[in-house]
Amino acid sequence: MGGFPGGVHPSQQKLTEAAPIRECPVPPLLILPVKQHIGEVCAPLVDVGDRVLRGQKVAKSQGYVSVPVHASTSGTVVKLEEHPVPHPSGLGRLSIFIEPDGEDAWDESLTPMPDYREQEPSVVRERIRLGGIAGLGGAVFPSFIKLHDHRNPIDTVILNGVECEPYLTNDHRLMLERAEEMIRGMDVIMHVAGAKNGIIAIEDNKQDAAEAVRDALQRIDGTEGISVRVLPTRYPQGGEKQLVQALTGREVPSGKLPAQVGLLCHNVGTAKAIHDAVVLGRALTERVVTVSGDAVPNPTNMSVRLGTPMPFLFARAGLEDLEGMRVIHGGPMMGECLPRTDVPVVKSTNGVLAMKSGGLYSEHAVEQPCIRCAKCVEVCPVGLVPNELAWHCRHDQFDRGQEYDLFDCIECGCCSYVCPSHIPLVHYFRYAKGQVAKIEQERAFAEQSKARNEARDNRLAREQAERAAKRSRVKQQRSKTTDAKPAAIEADAPEQEKKGDSE
């Protein structure tokens, strides 16, 4: 037990680990995209001119894998239009623009539930959904979905405070300053999931946070099942599957969730947000964001309202002009380089880094031939052979790529990080995954069309056969006018073919 294979030790660059979480002021205009999670898009509930309160639902879910969006302060809806979101494509999404009124008045429709332990787990779970909670570690998967799986009982809840990405310190500071709320949130999760044990995982570069959490555990009653585990610092330990392996020695089966092996992982920030939504009745309207990077004069951690424009945020850290900067959404290992900087903070924004353009490796790397040094194989935490996989992906041999376990890649970037030939391996894997998805989509569409077409042919054939049968019946009746009624002729129409598998 203990540890996971591979991994790297990038330079920590935790410039902001000693910077307490500051309150970021409410900006003059908030931009709330109607989708800030993984899953289905939400539909706006408000119109231009409407007055909204902080925590009021402004966009509702339109599917199961979805959580609503809430206004992050009180004010007036001034605009509903497409606006760029933090995404490497620079594409936009329908967003709700809110002009704050400065009162910051709360919507009180969610009643506080301090007695959550007395409530039915399903009630608490619904509250977590209504609170708009999605995984705040960066993946933003709707949290309520993971909380319940009737096929797989959960024995242990893992709280992920690993924060292995360089630069980012938002989870570190949250554990130091909001340990009690976080632990209460964890207790909510354990109640809903029916778990008896909890592990809070922290890397050993955050000993102070581990101490703070241990102290808080002692102060709070009923947390006997929760323990703190300090792990040796290594990237990508914060990856869900790697963390499960490092803590328990169990492996999550390929393509499955940790629930399959009785585990449930949540980020520490998510736990704190769950506490707020359940115990305080406050929907998700703000989150802790690390503002850092080599171009930021005063790197810091801030509690930021969702929808705050990035330039406003950087200005609070002393960087007024983003011209010529590269802005990374997330950490430097897995974060996305944003082509546009006028995007808002969303639920997945754990950090934003402004880098001087010249300092960004990914922008200047010149690819050279692979010398098969095997370093990528050595560091891959999943056990892939990245150099071979990249070769297939690069040459559009996607079947071969899948044979080399393309879809087990977690895109942690360790292979690209160590490659002496500076090959952007992860980039090739992303490209191949995208292409495979596209090909699958086209195949599914083609199959649907084929099934539709066959159904139509069958219908036409049946109708023709029916007509022919009718004609012959009439003919028979005419020729054998005196005969007894002929037996009813059943048209032997072929049965409509069943639709093929939609997969």
- The binding site for other proteins (CB under 8 A) comprises 8, 10-11, 88, 90, 166, 241, 245, 251-256, 326, 328, 332-337, 339, 355, 360-363, 365, 368-378, 380-385, 387-388, 404-405, 408, 411, 413, 416-422, 424, 426-427, 430
The residue (of 267 and 416) whose beta carbon lies closer to other proteins is 416
Distance in Å, CB of 85 to other proteins, minimum? 16
Q: How far apart are CA 24 and CA 316, in angstroms?
A: 8
Q: How far apart are CA 112 and CA 385, in angstroms?
A: 51
The residue (of 318 and 420) whose beta carbon lies closer to other proteins is 420
Helices of type H across 339-424: 361-364, 375-379, 386-394, 398-403, 414-418
Distance in Å, CB of 232 to other proteins, minimum? 18
Distance in Å, CB of 374 to other proteins, minimum? 4
The residue (of 307 and 332) whose beta carbon lies closer to other proteins is 332
- Decide: 92 and 259 in contact? Cβ < 8 Å: no
The residue (of 53 and 390) whose beta carbon lies closer to other proteins is 390
- Decide: 492 and 465 in contact? Cβ < 8 Å: yes
The residue (of 13 and 308) whose beta carbon lies closer to other proteins is 13
Amino acid at 303: S
Distance in Å, CB of 178 to other proteins, minimum? 28
Exposed/middle/buried for residue 340 (C-beta within 10 Å: 0-12, 13-18, 19+): middle
Within 13 Å, how many C-alpha atoms sit on residue 247's CB side?
32
Provide the b/e sequence for 439-457 (b: ≥16 CB within 10 Å): eeeeeeeeeeeebeeeeee
The residue (of 205 and 245) whose beta carbon lies closer to other proteins is 245
Distance in Å, CB of 249 to other proteins, minimum? 12
Distance in Å, CB of 141 to other proteins, minimum? 18
Amino acid at 449: S
The residue (of 74 and 387) whose beta carbon lies closer to other proteins is 387
Distance in Å, CB of 438 to other proteins, minimum? 16
The residue (of 203 and 240) whose beta carbon lies closer to other proteins is 240
Helices of type H across 70-223: 121-130, 143-146, 170-177, 179-193, 207-219
Amino acid at 248: T
- Decide: 86 and 104 in contact? Cβ < 8 Å: no
The residue (of 254 and 449) whose beta carbon lies closer to other proteins is 254
Asked whether the CA dihedral 239, 242, 247, 252 is positive or negative, the reply is positive
Distance of CA 486 to the CA centre of its chain: 68
The residue (of 76 and 421) whose beta carbon lies closer to other proteins is 421
Within 13 Å, how many C-alpha atoms sit on residue 87's CB side?
13
Q: Which two tokens stand for residue 446?
A: 């083609």
- Determine the 3-state secondary structure of 169 from DSSP: coil
- Decide: 230 and 250 in contact? Cβ < 8 Å: no
Distance in Å, CB of 344 to other proteins, minimum? 20
Distance in Å, CB of 399 to other proteins, minimum? 15
Distance in Å, CB of 252 to other proteins, minimum? 5
Distance in Å, CB of 9 to other proteins, minimum? 9
Q: How far apart are CA 301 and CA 433, in angstroms?
A: 34
The residue (of 51 and 93) whose beta carbon lies closer to other proteins is 93
- Determine the 3-state secondary structure of 281 from DSSP: coil
Four-point Cα dihedral 216, 218, 221, 223, nearest 10? 80
